[in-house]
Every structure is written in C-alpha cells, then in structure tokens.
Amino acid sequence: TQLLEQSPQFLSIQEGENLTVYCNSSSVFSSLQWYRQEPGEGPVLLVTVVTGGEVKKLKRLTFQFGDARKDSSLHITAAQPGDTGLYLCAGTGYSGAGSYQLTFGKGTKLSVIP
C-alpha cells in the first residue's frame, strides 16, 4: 500500500507571508499532482510533475518533485486570502501486474488571514 503524508495538516498565516507544504512517501511515484479544493467544490488540478528534481512555477506557487520521486513540496510566496483552501497531493505509482494506482494525501488546510 502506498501512503502519502502531507504536512502540516492545518496552517493559518497572515496575508503576505510565505509558506511551504510537504508531501512525503516511502514509495516512488511516476508522477505527482497537486490540487486545490475550496469548500463545497471539487479539487482543481494545479500542476503535474513527472521528472525527479523538476520545478514548476504557477505565479506565486512553486512546486518541486524530489530527486528520488518520493516527495514533493509546494511553496507559496506572499500568500493572499484567495489562496485559502485544501491543498491535496496525489501520487501515481506502479501497483504491480501492469497497473497503476493513484494515492491521495489527507490534505493541508490553509487559511490566509487578511
């Protein structure tokens, strides 16, 4: 069974601060996705990373895939209230017999206070 641990579970910060959210596993993933989910809505895909060491930027958000493809981080610069939401990481890993499975972390609930 592949597990993804996200930390921190909850994060409350002031507008303008920087933050980093982590997604860790002992398993190797072929790709990893980050989603943001607002209350009452479905998760919205932010980014997919596939190469070890890959860094992708989306405005103030920077995503990094670990060299060994077992972990990832999301860094937000100068957080805004609009960044508030649940951030989910999901990893695609080989589960044997030619099939893959998608594993979700429990999420990091971010609150940005104006």
Partner 1 sequence: ETGVTQTPRHLVMGMTNKKSLKCEQHLGHNAMYWYKQSAKKPLELMFVYNFKEQTENNSVPSRFSPECPNSSHLFLHLHTLQPEDSALYLCASSAQDRRNSGNTIYFGEGSWLTVV
Q: Report the interface residues with partner 1, using CB under 8 A.
A: 30-31, 33, 35, 40-45, 48, 88, 90, 92-93, 98-102, 104-107
Please state the closest distance from residue 59 (CB atom) to partner 1, in A.
19
Residue 15 CB, shortest distance to partner 1, in Å, is 27
Our CB check for partner 1 shows the closer of 76 and 89 to be 89
Between CA 69 and CA 26 the distance in angstroms is 10
User: Is residue 78 within 8 Å of 18, Cβ to Cβ?
Assistant: yes
Nearer to partner 1, 84 or 103 (CB): 103
6 or 79, CB closer to partner 1? 6
Name the residue nearer to partner 1 (CB basis): 49 or 112: 49
Least Å distance, CB 42 to partner 1, is 4
| Distance of alpha carbon 114 from alpha carbon 106, whole angstroms | 26
Coil, helix or strand at residue 96? strand
Q: Which sign does the torsion angle of CA 16, 60, 22, 102 carry? A: positive
Nearest distance from C-beta of residue 105 to partner 1, angstroms: 7
